[in-house]
């Protein structure tokens, strides 16, 4: 067809092309009457394109593509979608060529050591022998839940670690790119592991080889005072190199979106759970990725300024006071409860928790069903006994599965029971009975319910169907089951108004805010992660921000600036006029910071900062 031949160069896509043909063929629009190549022809063609563009943009179906901000009130919303490894993988490494803190020229790998070549990170967990020599023991209440490996410091010798890759998978020494450890003389060493874990014999110790392999991860030693180079050798202050790779095309925006800050792939610095100053979503620093195709690792740099302020840099930040958003471990002191016996799949009787989220999470540990996949999974699991009732989003329920009494017709018997919500064969589920203070013929005087085998002195503060484990006891007896949050990690959702009140209530959620439970400060232990910042690999689309990878790293220098007004450390180091970090206090982060004695506040500005 002659028409399509004429149109080919302007067609941007098949869709566009078809619409253009349709448009130019409309009876109302005049057909091109000018010869190809003449200026009149070009003008006509350009006009036609403009009209078409307007036409398309005004169309309801495609409006959201051109004007997403009109459809979505807030497009600055983060959502996490880590790609499945069978689809593609993303790798991120920090300071892959090391930094120049040692400054020795013979260990320097060059600023382009990690461009278009293979690279990976190697990490170690302390092995059992090392744990024994180091006198490390797992906290008991943690060990009961899982066996969390303890990360070794990055310079731990091979003898003491189990080598893993960035997903925690076991790595063989054969594939390690790390050089063998050095053996050096150490007068303190008396034998293997004696007295230090690194001792390897009389007067001998092992030590990590000073030169690291090019293109490896050094995410534990970031120093925000140092300079860095781009792979092309351009030097800047207060920054670090970052390497990335993606086994699929990187989402790079072109044409009219090339400079759109909401389009493309970015590396962003955030702080997990934020800080008292800023929430987690606050962008601390960013760098835009510019290569669509990666073959091996690509290296770029990211500034280490705090929120783009050239007078503030990242620092060795560690929180010491529990606030809303802090992750806490519930310790052994937290009250434990005695609840009806756990559901038994053989006789189909016992208590279970609702909501019952497919997977493993139930009750207080089940977060909101908020994605389509989760909804589908929930619908598919609806037919599985024991049933949970339709219930409010913001509640947890302890339910009991029971057998209908045989003396009655099954249906009448179940209907006579208040609050039942599902039956299967002769079994039905119903909320477990609430406790009443009664004198029971066999259980004696106390708080009990028909579902409990014993009476208790007090009610459980978490669930109205359980009694509180009597003080001094560690287990429930008589067939009741113990329930405790000890060993679980949750997030603080509220703190008492008066922090000095020993009976002040902290509420903690175990399901990302769906429901919360009450604890005292003495029941909680702060869970600060081993790192203080995270690099997020974010795909910015016109609708939202998709976190595709999170890479923790640890800034170890400089120390943070002390905030005299709020008596705590800022999450950054304030630089004075000479570029030196100010007022770093005693730098002690032991959880009991004594306010330094700044008698009249003048010390704060002594270093030459703003008045």
Please tell me the distance from the alpha carbon of residue 390 to that of residue 367, in angstroms, as a whole number: 16
CB of 192 to ligand NAG, least distance (A): 28
CB of 448 to ligand NAG, least distance (A): 9
Under 8 Å between Cβ of 287 and 300: yes
Under 8 Å between Cβ of 189 and 202: yes
Please tell me the distance from the alpha carbon of residue 348 to that of residue 429, in angstroms, as a whole number: 10
Q: What are phi and psi of 298, to 5 degrees?
A: -115, 145
Among 198, 306, 553, 572, binds ligand NAG (CB under 6 A): 553
Q: Find where tokens 């999450």 sit.
A: 571
Q: Please count the other Cβ atoms lying within 10 Å of the Cβ belonging to residue 397.
A: 20
Q: What are phi and psi of 483, to 5 degrees?
A: -130, 130
> DSSP string of 40-93?
HHHHHHHHHHHHHHHHHHHSHHHHHHH-HHHH-S----EEE-PPPTTT--EEEE
Give the list of residues 6+ apart from residue 477 with CB closer than 8 angstroms, or none: 454
Q: Name the residue number minimizing CB distance to ligand NAG.
A: 6
551 near ligand NAG (CB under 6 A): yes
Q: Which is nearer to ligand NAG, 78 or 531 (CB)?
A: 531
100 near ligand NAG (CB under 6 A): yes
Query: Taking CB under 6 A as the criterion, which residues in 32-91 touch ligand NAG?
Result: 36-37
Secondary structure (3-state) at 255 = helix
Query: Taking CB under 6 A as the criterion, which residues in 1-20 touch ligand NAG?
Result: 5-9
- Name the DSSP letter for residue 459: B
CB of 141 to ligand NAG, least distance (A): 22
Please tell me the distance from the alpha carbon of residue 158 to that of residue 209, in angstroms, as a whole number: 11
Among 27, 28, 103, 233, binds ligand NAG (CB under 6 A): 103
113 near ligand NAG (CB under 6 A): no
Query: Taking CB under 6 A as the criterion, which residues in 176-215 touch ligand NAG?
Result: none
CB of 395 to ligand NAG, least distance (A): 20
Q: Which two tokens stand for residue 5?
A: 């031949």
Q: Which of 533, 504, 567, 104 is nearest to 320 (CA)?
A: 567
Q: Please give the size of the binding site for ligand NAG, defined by CB under 6 A.
A: 26
Under 8 Å between Cβ of 257 and 263: yes
Q: What are phi and psi of 107, to 5 degrees?
A: -105, 0
User: Segment near ligand NAG (CB under 6 A), from 246-254, 547-555, 572-580, 597-605?
Assistant: 547-555
Q: Which is nearer to ligand NAG, 265 or 448 (CB)?
A: 448
The binding track of 425-464 with respect to ligand NAG, each residue x by CB under 6 A or -, is --------x--x------------xx--------------
Q: Please count the other Cβ atoms lying within 10 Å of the Cβ belonging to residue 313.
A: 26
108 near ligand NAG (CB under 6 A): yes
149 near ligand NAG (CB under 6 A): no
Among 83, 496, 552, 596, binds ligand NAG (CB under 6 A): 552
User: Segment near ligand NAG (CB under 6 A), from 69-77, 266-274, 357-365, 545-553?
Assistant: 545-553
User: Segment near ligand NAG (CB under 6 A), from 100-108, 299-307, 510-518, 580-588?
Assistant: 100-108
Strand partners, 298: 244
156 near ligand NAG (CB under 6 A): no
169 near ligand NAG (CB under 6 A): no
Among 55, 81, 227, 606, binds ligand NAG (CB under 6 A): 227
> End-to-end distance of the chain based on CA atoms, in angstroms?
77
Q: Which is nearer to ligand NAG, 294 or 515 (CB)?
A: 294
Judged by the rule CB under 6 A, the positions of this chain that interact with ligand NAG are 5-9, 36-37, 100, 103, 108, 121, 123, 166, 219-220, 227, 433, 436, 449-450, 530-531, 551-554
């Amino acid at each position: 067809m002659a028409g399509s031949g004429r149109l080919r160069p302007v067609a941007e896509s098949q869709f566009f092309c078809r619409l253009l043909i349709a448009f130019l063929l409309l009876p109302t629009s005049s057909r091109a009457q000018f010869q190809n190549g003449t200026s009149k022809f070009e003008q006509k063609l350009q006009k036609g394109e403009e009209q078409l563009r307007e036409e398309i943009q005004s169309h309801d179906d495609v409006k959201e593509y051109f004007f997403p901000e009109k459809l979505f009130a807030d497009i600055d919303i983060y959502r996490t979608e880590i790609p499945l490894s069978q689809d593609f993988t993303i790798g991120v490494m920090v300071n892959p060529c090391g930094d120049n803190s040692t400054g020795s020229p013979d260990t320097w790998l060059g600023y382009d050591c990690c461009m278009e070549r293979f690279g990976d990170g190697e990490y170690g967990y302390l092995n059992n022998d090392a744990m024994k020599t180091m006198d490390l023991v797992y906290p008991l209440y943690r060990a009961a839940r899982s066996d969390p490996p303890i990360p070794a410091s990055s310079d731990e010798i091979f003898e003491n670690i189990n080598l893993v890759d960035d997903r925690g998978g076991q790595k063989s020494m054969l594939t390690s790119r790390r050089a063998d450890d050095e053996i050096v003389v150490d007068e303190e060493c008396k034998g293997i592991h004696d007295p230090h874990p690194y001792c390897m014999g009389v007067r001998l110790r092992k030590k990590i080889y000073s030169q690291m392999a090019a293109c490896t991860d050094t995410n534990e030693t970031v120093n925000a005072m140092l300079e860095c180079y781009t792979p092309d050798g351009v030097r800047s202050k207060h920054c670090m190199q970052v390497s990335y790779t993606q086994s699929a095309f990187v989402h790079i925006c072109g044409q009219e979106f090339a400079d759109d800050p909401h389009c493309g792939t970015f590396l962003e610095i955030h702080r997990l759970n934020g800080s008292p100053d800023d929430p987690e979503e606050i962008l601390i620093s960013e760098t835009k990725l510019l290569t669509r195709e990666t073959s091996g690792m690509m290296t770029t740099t990211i500034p280490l300024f705090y929120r783009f302020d050239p007078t503030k840099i990242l620092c060795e930040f560690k929180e010491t006071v529990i606030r809303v958003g802090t992750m806490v471990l519930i310790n052994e002191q937290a009250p434990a409860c005695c609840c009806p016996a756990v559901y038994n799949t053989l006789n189909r009787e016992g208590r279970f928790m609702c909501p019952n989220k497919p997977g493993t999470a139930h009750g207080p540990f089940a977060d909101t069903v908020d994605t389509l996949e989760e909804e589908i999974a929930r619908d598919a699991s609806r037919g599985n006994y024991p049933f949970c009732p339709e219930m409010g989003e913001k509640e947890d329920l302890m339910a009991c599965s029971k057998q209908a009494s045989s003396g009655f017709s099954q249906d009448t018997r179940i209907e006579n029971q208040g609050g039942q919500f599902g039956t299967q064969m002769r079994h039905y589920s119903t909320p477990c009975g609430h406790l009443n203070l009664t004198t029971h013929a066999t259980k004696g005087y106390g708080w009990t319910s028909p579902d409990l085998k014993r009476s208790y002195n007090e009610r459980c503060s978490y669930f109205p169907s359980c009694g509180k484990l009597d003080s001094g006891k560690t287990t429930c007896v008589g067939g009741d089951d113990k329930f405790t949050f000890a060993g679980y990690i949750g997030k603080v959702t509220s703190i008492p108004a008066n922090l000095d009140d020993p009976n002040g209530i902290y509420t903690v959620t175990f399901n990302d805010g769906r429901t919360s439970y009450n604890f005292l400060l003495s029941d909680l232990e702060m869970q600060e992660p081993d790192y203080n910042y995270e690099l997020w690999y974010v795909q910015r689309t016109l609708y939202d921000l998709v976190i595709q990878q999170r890479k923790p790293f640890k800034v170890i220098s400089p120390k943070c600036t002390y905030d005299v007004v709020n008596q705590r450390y800022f999450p950054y180091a304030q630089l004075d006029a000479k570029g030196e970090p100010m007022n770093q206090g005693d730098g002690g982060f032991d959880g009991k910071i004594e306010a330094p004695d700044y008698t009249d506040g003048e010390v704060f500005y002594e270093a030459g900062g703003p008045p």
